[in-house]
């Protein structure tokens, strides 16, 4: 699939539902997908999604490893068991996002994994996280 075909497949559609599609390495800057859209087991490995509008989306078991989401709007987006390792989320708006159970570096399956993600300048207000796995708290100083 090329970028043009991907844009048509994911174009602004209220309640869009797609599964098992591959968008790896495509240039999809400024992509806009309709509210309450759902993507299941889709792959965005290394995809350029800068400035995309993905508000209110539900991503289930999707792979975004190494994707560029810098400056994207992900307001009230839900991530269920997604691979967000090494994703660029700098300056992204994640207000109200739901990350479900979160993995921060342990090899657990079925949890959203943010290992190595870049979050500098991201808006992280009102994020929901059900649990955090792999967190290594610092020892308290006596």
Confidence (pLDDT) at 113: 87
Reported pTM: 0.85
Kindly give the confidence (pLDDT) of every residue in the chain, 142 residues in length, as a single tens digit, with 9 standing for 90 and above: 889 998 888 876 667 889 999 999 999 999 998 778 899 999 999 999 999 999 999 999 999 999 999 999 999 999 998 999 999 999 999 999 998 877 766 555 557 888 889 999 999 999 988 877 665 554 444 4
Write the DSSP assignment of the chain as a string of letters. Answer: --HHHHHHHHSS-TT-EEES-B-TT-B-TT-B--TT-EEES-B-TT-B-TT-B-TT-EEES-B-TT-B-TT-B-TT-EEES-B-TT-B-TT-B-TT-EEEEEESSS--SSSEE-TT-B-TT-B-TT-EEEEEES--PPPPP-
Confidence (pLDDT) at 9: 85
């Amino acid at each position: 699939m090329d970028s043009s075909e991907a844009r048509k497949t994911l174009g602004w559609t209220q309640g869009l539902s797609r599964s098992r599609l591959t968008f790896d390495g495509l240039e999809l800057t400024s992509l806009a997908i309709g509210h309450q859209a759902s993507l299941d087991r889709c792959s965005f490995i290394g995809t350029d999604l800068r400035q995309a509008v993905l508000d209110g989306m539900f991503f289930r078991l999707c792979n975004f490893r190494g994707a560029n989401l810098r400056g994207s709007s992900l307001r009230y987006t839900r991530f269920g068991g997604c691979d967000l390792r090494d994703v660029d989320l700098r300056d992204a708006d994640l207000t109200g996002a739901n990350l479900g159970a979160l993995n921060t570096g342990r090899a657990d399956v079925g949890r959203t994994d943010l290992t190595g993600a870049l979050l500098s300048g991201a808006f992280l207000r009102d994020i929901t996280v059900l649990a955090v796995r792999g967190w290594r708290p610092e020892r308290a100083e006596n």
